[in-house]
Structure 1
Amino acid sequence: MTVQPQPAQGDANVVAAGRLWAGGAATAVVAALIAIVGILLARGVFDVPVLAPEGEGTWGDADTGRYALYCALAALIATGLMHLLLVSTPRPQQFFNWIMGLATVAAAVAPFATNGSTESKVATAVINLAVGIAITTLVNGAARVARREARTGR
């Protein structure tokens, strides 16, 4: 049995950590799947070589799996950031939204600083944008539930 410290009256910084991290784990799966689906669409449907040379086929090469894992890791890092913000800052979701918004813009712009075709850069930017939006919204939703459940004692 885990003993939870009782929050001071009106303490808004109580978090149902298990619920938050379960949501974060589910977000990691979604982020990885968005990356894979995005690459499949780009390479298989639009014939744009994303993350691998053209001759690698629809699935690409080992970079496809690595990219999906990095997207999942980004979701877990975002969950850790949200947890830290929830227990330490006023208006944690506002700070989270700003941080994630700027990180998502950076991820969407980053492909344009690399060598490669314009089509590949655009496809990678769109995938990065979709992953960033998904992580931001899903972790925000998990945080709302985790705060509400912690306050009601569920």
Structure 2
Amino acid sequence: MTDPRYNYGPSDPQYPQQGQPHYGQGQYAPQPGEPQEPKVNVGKLWAGGIGTAVVAALLAVVAIMLVRGVLGIAILSPEGAGAYGTVSTTSYAVAAAGAALLATALLMVLLLAMPSPMTFFTWICLLLTAVAVILPFTFVADIEAKIATAVINLVLGLCITTMLSSVGTASQNATRDTGY
């Protein structure tokens, strides 16, 4: 027996007329009263957001250890504090993870409510990254520390933006999964 959703033609009232959406193989027109699929896979979005937060935190630690240990630039703590630094390094890593989680929340709101959500998300994140890059130059510190902090902020911002852009694209339900 054939599925009646796929066995119809121009004489069928459910057949898409000019200007109506066309549903290809594996898709069918939602029936009246049938619940619509959510636009965003929230579980996939937040799993990707948590993964991004972990990557951002680890990236912050690695970047600070590289700048302090290899380049010898004292950022976030005095020179004698070693390659890791002090609790400031941990705080920076936690802040990077928090920024990734806040960006995930922003992405979810945009995906649920905005047209072209990925464009808005990318612009917002890039502008916030620009603020984070400029901010170290407003503090009193050595120029090397300012530049190193700005570069770390740039790398973290680009990491969060690109990873969550991929997560946001992957978490959108473009078509209805019918199980066929």
Q: TM-score, normalised by structure 2?
A: 0.77
| Distance in 1 of aligned mates of 2:85 and 2:111 | 39
Q: Structure 2 regions of 5+ residues with no counterpart?
A: 1-33
Q: Which has the higher helix share?
A: 1
| Structure number with bigger Rg | 2
Identity %: 44
1:7 CA displacement = 2.3
| Distance in 2 of aligned mates of 1:105 and 1:120 | 17
Amino acid at match of 2:120: F
Amino acid at match of 2:95: Y
1:110 matched to 2:135: yes
Amino acid at match of 1:95: F
SS at match of 1:142: helix
Query: 1:43, 1:49 within 8 Å by CA — same for their partners in 2?
Result: yes
More RCO (CA 8 Å, sep 6+): 1
1:44 matched to 2:75: no
Amino acid at match of 2:116: R
Amino acid at match of 2:77: A
| CA deviation string 1:92-128 (max 9, x = no partner) | 0110011001000000110000011111011100110
Alignment RMSD (CA, Å): 1.6
1:152 CA displacement = 3.7
Q: TM-score, normalised by structure 1?
A: 0.89
- How many aligned residue pairs are there? 145
Q: Which runs of 4+ in 1 moved over 3 A?
A: 150-154
1:137 CA displacement = 0.5
| CA deviation string 1:61-111 (max 9, x = no partner) | 010000000000000000000000000000001100110010000001100
1:1-154 correspondence runs (5 A): 6-7=35-36, 14-148=39-173, 151-153=175-177
Q: Structure 1 regions of 5+ residues with no counterpart?
A: none
| Distance in 1 of aligned mates of 2:122 and 2:156 | 14
| CA deviation string 1:3-31 (max 9, x = no partner) | xx9327xxxx7000000000000000110
| Distance in 2 of aligned mates of 1:71 and 1:58 | 19
| Distance in 1 of aligned mates of 2:46 and 2:176 | 18
| Distance in 1 of aligned mates of 2:94 and 2:175 | 34
